[in-house]
Amino acid sequence: MLINQFDITIMIGKNIWLACLLFVALLGGRAANAFPLSNGDQVQCHFAHGDKQGVATEIWNTYRQPEERNPELGRAVAVMRLNSDGWPTIIIDAEAHKRNAKGSPAIWDFVYFHECAHAQDPSLGEIEANCAAYKEMSRRGLMNFHRMKDLEAVHLSMLMLPEEYGGSGLKLWHKTLECARKSDG
Ligand SMILES: [Zn+2]
């Protein structure tokens, strides 16, 4: 009996050890199709449109040479594209994320929610996607004065932008704030 009890203790011990390993693996690894927010939360981009619903696919584009970047990214650090099956897919510049996610947490939270807004409604315009990102960050308590100023600075650094972005970073930012405040009240 003593031996059996000892065996059971070892078995329980092993299971706890396995559970710990699994926990560490879950913490250390990135969950499938999830994005790490600056507050440590892992978020997935749930969508439902047409005959499809689920979680948007994420592609973390890693590369050694700039030429190996996913051409869909263009000059962006992330884009949303529908794949050949019409499934929303968020392509993320993994190297840019590695470089500056810690230094510019608000920017990456914003980028993710902007692309997720496109995934949730592919017909959404750029100003609306920005507006949705701003509101989602506010809702999650990820917005404060300092973060708002960081986002503003990034927008103001973008001088000329295509018309769908309002024509300039300044206009895009103003229209984003206008939209976010309008739907606040
Ligand atoms: Zn966009």
Averages of pLDDT over runs of 10 residues in the chain (185 residues) are 46 54 50 91 96 96 94 95 96 96 93 98 96 97 96 94 93 97 76
What is the whole-number distance in angstroms between the Cα of residue 129 and the centre of ligand 1? 6
pLDDT (0 to 100) of residue 28: 46
What is the whole-number distance in angstroms between the Cα of residue 22 and the centre of ligand 1? 36
What is the whole-number distance in angstroms between the Cα of residue 41 and the centre of ligand 1? 23
Tokens, residue 99 = 């470089």
pLDDT (0 to 100) of residue 172: 97
Distance CA 35, CA 92 (A): 10
Give residue 6's domain range: 1-32
Q: Is the pTM of this model over 0.85?
A: no
Instruction: State whether 58 and 108 are in the same domain.
Output: yes
Instruction: State whether 144 and 104 are in the same domain.
Output: yes
What is the whole-number distance in angstroms between the Cα of residue 5 and the centre of ligand 1? 61
What is the whole-number distance in angstroms between the Cα of residue 162 and the centre of ligand 1? 11
Could you list which residues have their CB under 5 Å from ion ligand 1?
126, 129
pLDDT (0 to 100) of residue 23: 52
Q: Is 141 left (phi over 0), alpha (psi -120 to 50) or beta?
A: left
Instruction: State whether 150 and 74 are in the same domain.
Output: yes
H/E element holding 52?
A: strand 52-55
Instruction: State whether 4 and 81 are in the same domain.
Output: no
pLDDT (0 to 100) of residue 126: 96
